[in-house]
Amino acid sequence: MARPDRASGPGAHTGPDAPVPGPDRLMQIGEAAERVGLSIRTIRHYEDVGLIVPSARSEGGFRLYTEADLDRLAVVRRMKPLGFTLDEMRDLLVLLDDLDTVADGEHRAALVDRLAMFHEAADARVTALRDELAVAEGFAATLRARLDRHGG
């Protein structure tokens, strides 16, 4: 079975002069979670629902992740605040995988069209979030003005 790279275990060398991780380097779930800003529990949940599959398991059964796995987790992490469903996340991950493997042709053009639809949906959701933020900022400014008016 695959074994984790020594740099991912306890006492791993970290900091500005730490080795740059390679694409084939395996890391345990704790390091993966820290690198992508997700909890271990969340990563396990994403595995349970089929969004991510660890690239390997150690001899002791520990999940092992590669840079490509972290890229997938980062996609999911960026989709979540935009309100994409788990099914939509799964669809986009499959689409991205397909785009990486499909040669030119009609099928690839259809995949690019689907990617454009995801892009449009993300843009629309970002716009909606900006609108909500503007309302929230206006409310906070109103409260600040009232606080100032009342000597706070």
The pLDDT of residue 149: 94
The pTM of the full predicted model, rounded to 2 decimals, is: 0.75
Alpha-carbon distance 25 to 35, whole Å?
A: 14
Q: At what angle do helices 67-79 and 86-101 cross, to 10 degrees?
A: 140
Asked if residue 114 lies in contact with residue 75, where contact means CB atoms within 8 angstroms, the answer is no
The pLDDT of residue 36: 97
Alpha-carbon distance 130 to 83, whole Å?
A: 14
139: tokens are 């409310």
The pLDDT of residue 148: 94
Domains of the chain: 27-151 (1.10.1660.10)
The pLDDT of residue 6: 37
Among the listed residues 61, 74, 6, the one whose alpha carbon sits nearest the alpha carbon of residue 35? 74
Q: What is the mean pLDDT of residues 124-135?
A: 98
- Cβ-Cβ contacts under 8 Å for 67 (sequence gap 6 or more): 21, 22, 23, 25
27: tokens are 């890391």
Among the listed residues 60, 57, 18, the one whose alpha carbon sits nearest the alpha carbon of residue 35? 18
- Report residue 65 CA to chain centroid gap: 14
Write out pLDDT tens, residues 12-70: 444 444 445 566 799 999 999 999 999 999 999 999 999 999 999 999 999 999 999 99
Write out pLDDT tens, residues 100-121: 998 788 999 999 999 999 999 9
The pLDDT of residue 39: 97
